[in-house]
Structure 1
Amino acid sequence: MFPIIPKGIHWAALPAMGFAFGWFLDRKETERLTLFRDKSALYGRTLREGEPPSWP
């Protein structure tokens, strides 16, 4: 009735879950850092009228 699941499958699933969690955290950090684009006191400057931001 149930499909046969190999006993050692968790050793293959664990790295995949770790990769997915790391990817998720990386995406969240990128979203958080978008709040600071063009606002750095060291590298920031005032944009001219109609000038696009330095990030794509």
Structure 2
Amino acid sequence: MIGLDKRYVWGVLPLIGFAIGHFLDKKETERMTLFRDKSALYGRPEGAERKPPSW
């Protein structure tokens, strides 16, 4: 190969997987913030319009 040992590739592969997973998790969290306090399950009770948002 390009001078890369198999042990090096197998040692770096989990780190690359972790980095990709971390990036995707952050993107999903960022996307889910769009739905805060808009779900019927987590919605505020009637008459609570003057309260600030939960976040």
TM-score norm. by structure 1 comes to 0.73
- Structure 2 unaligned residues grouped into runs of 5+: none
Aligned positions of 1:1-56 closer than 5 A: 7=5, 8-45=7-44, 46-48=48-50, 51-55=51-55
Number of equivalent positions: 49
Higher fraction of helix: 2
Identity of aligned residues (%): 65
- Structure 1 unaligned residues grouped into runs of 5+: none
TM-score norm. by structure 2 comes to 0.74
After superposition, the CA RMSD in angstroms is 1.7
